[in-house]
Structure 1
Amino acid sequence: MRAAIATGDYHKMGETFVNRHIEHLFGGDTVIVVGRSNGDDPYGKPLFMRRRRFGPADRALLPYFTLRNALVHATSRVPFGQGKHELREFLRTQRVEVILAEFGTQALAVAPLGAEMGLPVFSYFRGTDASKHLRSRRIRRAYRLMMPHLAGIVSVSQFLLDNLAAAGVTHPNAHVIPSGVDVRRFRPGDKRPGSCLAVGRFVEKKAPLTTLRSFAEATRDHPEARLDFVGDGPLLAPAQRLAEDLGVAEKVTFHGARPHEFVRKQLESAQYFLQHSVTAKDGNTEGLPTAIQEAMAAGCITVSTRHAGIPEAIDEGETGFLVPEGDAPGFTTAIARAFAISDPAAMAVRARSVAETRFDNDRLLARLEDVIRSTVRA
């Protein structure tokens, strides 16, 4: 089955879930529909760019279609004129049989045309598109209007489906399929006792300053403890200053943004994975963090928060420890509990086993294909 993968920006190294679909969905029989392209296409796929300069005819039509699309679809993302004609011809000449929009906001752009062409369209909701964006009344209305045009929706967590439902956005053909992890590539290695790892952007949603403070306090009596941060962002410099102020600069390493392979090697040897995810002031949440799934596959004991889909991955006291988001003292206590485990190797084995059972991305990819095929057959 030939699929068009619709996404916003291509190619982005960090969007491993999108790239995996482009490379492997239906045996790699895929083409790409993007908003913008940085010119890097490692998979050599046929590619269509939606965003382009309007010609004279489309500039003349722009006021009419801006108003029409706002009234009919509640979004300006829907292509019209020459852009719509060219996208239609691309999908036809490439013999596309199904469209998978990797985010709800991208589905807004392709769902109406897919419905016109008789192409089934599926939308994958992953985080921001089913949390922060739902604060916009316009987006809520656009999603509700889009649902009849879709053959089905998929979410990385039940939490996001519940978020959508609370906003009146539902679909009878809805499924929870996490992004997953390559459990053959992410495997446990020789663990360094007392080693902790935190991976992610230094932004409000990841609460890196809370992670740093709790680590410093919880490991005060553990001179062997070390914390590696991987990532960058606006809170990186404040975190570096805080490490100095807390007197733990020699125990904490800030690696900055690094390639995925570097993260894999760090997870291989890390004993604990720390991630204090919180809901940002603008409503932005996680879906189900890929980094936590990777950490479990690598046999890391996770200390995190009861946030978004994380409780759907971590079994409290069995594969890790969870506290309410924003509970800094509780997070400190949870890290201390993790360091006090009598048999950390046994918990690491359980985490690996759960990753193999729930988050093997080969199995999850097959589930997604089954959902699409069965829907199309029906």
Structure 2
Amino acid sequence: MSGSYNLCIIKPNKSAFSETFIQAHIDGLAGNKKVLYGGAFPLYDHEGKTLIRSKLGLLSYLIQKRIFKKKNIGVRTRALYKYLKANKIDAVFAEYGMVGASVTEACKMAGVPLIIHFHGADVYHRDTVAAYAELYQQAFRYASAFIAVSVDMAATLKEMGAPADKVYTASCGVDTAAFPLLDISASAKDFLFVGRFVEKKSPQSLVKAFKIVLEQHPDARLWMAGGGPLFDETKALIAELGLNEQITLTGVLKPEEIRELMKRMRAFVQHSVTAANGDKEGTPVTVLEASSSGLPVISTRHSGIKEAVVDGKTGFLVDEYDITGMAERMITLAESVELAVQMGKAARNHMIDNYDINLRMALLDNIVQNSINSKAN
């Protein structure tokens, strides 16, 4: 029945530069797709119109949401139920646990199977998990499938109460054709970080590690692409350590600009850690894209990175906050372009064999179709 079913994808943000994995699902999944968005519960339909059609209904919804801080709002649930029925939706694919939990009741009313794709904070951020605890339990009882992006996350979902036989591990994938093997054999000692400047990516730890690298290799350079709440703090640390000449902050770049930057790099670096609020990474897409491009990755033993990077083969892994260890691994690759080339090629093969977007989409399509078939029988 591939392609002959109606799939409704629900996502929180209309667009977010860091959520390329959601766009990959919208582009790559089979079925006739309709995309809804607008927070943990979709406010807008696929045409950008509000799901709640009446002004009175919208007012009632806003009062319940903003003044009473309710998470389960009847008028909103009924609007989604009507939408699913009117558009003959066969399955709902919810991006993030909060979204899946919020739409569970509407899916149940419509008798539509629900697949929930978890990504990171929705499993690890303590306050978020606490706020949605009750709705998560309802989702665990109703939904057909729960997708985790790492082995660690799958284990955590089971501990939270998700039925083990409905939990699947499928990290985000990478389009290995769009990120072809680069020739890094003539690269300078240039290192690249791409990501949001947030606590769980610990940009300051990376800056501190790089300062140690410079003591032995003053000609090394670090490029940091992205923006976020810790951007100004990171910028201040760079200035304080006297590294303005050696570290370039590019701000947020377009995908094609990142690809251009990758062409001159020796390796990709990211010091991911568990944030104070419990938040962790899923499997960072930037790590997959760098690996597909033939850049060795130096990162931490954190969440899905432990599977994406094979320590000693496709890159190096150190413990969280092991700043000296990270510096040592960067020095190793600064001193041997041959090793970087060898690891980069192994990294690309690892992506082709285990993370290619086409493999990932086939697996997700299979999960969606099985959910529809199980509901029908």
Give your verdict on TM over 0.5. yes
What is the aligned partner in structure 1 of residue 13 from structure 2? 9
Give how far 1:248 is off: 2.9
What is the aligned partner in structure 1 of residue 259 from structure 2? 264
2:344 is equivalent to residue 348 of structure 1: yes
CA distance in 2, matches of 1:51, 1:267: 45
SS of structure 2 residue aligned to 1:254: strand
What is the aligned partner in structure 1 of residue 282 from structure 2? 287
Are 1:140 and 1:167, in contact at CA under 8 Å, matched by a contact in 2?
Answer: no
2:196 is equivalent to residue 201 of structure 1: yes
Deviations 1:4-49 (A, max 9, x none): 011111122331111222233115x210222259xxx9xx954564
CA distance in 2, matches of 1:349, 1:359: 15
Q: Of 26, 49, 66, which residue of structure 2 is paired with 1:22?
A: 26
Gap change, CA 1:246 and 1:59, over 3 Å in 2: closer
Q: Of 11, 31, 34, which residue of structure 2 is paired with 1:31?
A: 34
Percent of aligned pairs with the same amino acid: 27
SS of structure 1 residue aligned to 2:299: strand
Q: Of 74, 79, 85, which residue of structure 2 is paired with 1:80?
A: 74
CA distance in 2, matches of 1:46, 1:365: 25
CA distance in 2, matches of 1:115, 1:350: 46
Higher relative contact order (CA 8 A, sep 6+): 2
Give how far 1:135 is off: 6.5
Number of paired residues? 362
Give how far 1:356 is off: 1.1
Which consecutive aligned stretches of 4+ in structure 1 deviate over 4 angstroms post-superposition? 44-54, 60-63, 133-136
CA distance in 1, matches of 2:33, 2:221: 43
Deviations 1:194-237 (A, max 9, x none): 11001112222111111011112123232432111101223323
Show structure 2 runs of 5+ residues with no match.
none
Amino acid across the alignment from 2:237:
L
Are 2:314 and 2:343, in contact at CA under 8 Å, matched by a contact in 1?
Answer: yes
CA distance in 1, matches of 2:108, 2:258: 41
TM value normalised by structure 1 = 0.87
SS of structure 2 residue aligned to 1:329: helix
What is the aligned partner in structure 1 of residue 135 from structure 2? 142
2:105 is equivalent to residue 112 of structure 1: yes
TM value normalised by structure 2 = 0.87
Amino acid across the alignment from 1:140:
A
SS of structure 1 residue aligned to 2:245: helix
Alignment of 1:159-308 (within 5 A): 159-191=152-184, 192-308=187-303
Are 1:23 and 1:30, in contact at CA under 8 Å, matched by a contact in 2?
Answer: no
Amino acid across the alignment from 1:266:
L
Are 1:188 and 1:298, in contact at CA under 8 Å, matched by a contact in 2?
Answer: yes
SS of structure 1 residue aligned to 2:280: coil
CA distance in 2, matches of 1:317, 1:57: 56
Are 1:31 and 1:47, in contact at CA under 8 Å, matched by a contact in 2?
Answer: no
Amino acid across the alignment from 1:270:
M
CA distance in 2, matches of 1:210, 1:239: 10
What is the aligned partner in structure 2 of residue 375 from structure 1? 371
Gap change, CA 1:171 and 1:58, over 3 Å in 2: farther
Give how far 1:242 is off: 2.6
Show structure 1 runs of 5+ residues with no match.
68-74
2:313 is equivalent to residue 309 of structure 1: no
Give how far 1:188 is off: 2.9
CA distance in 1, matches of 2:126, 2:53: 24
Are 2:123 and 2:129, in contact at CA under 8 Å, matched by a contact in 1?
Answer: no
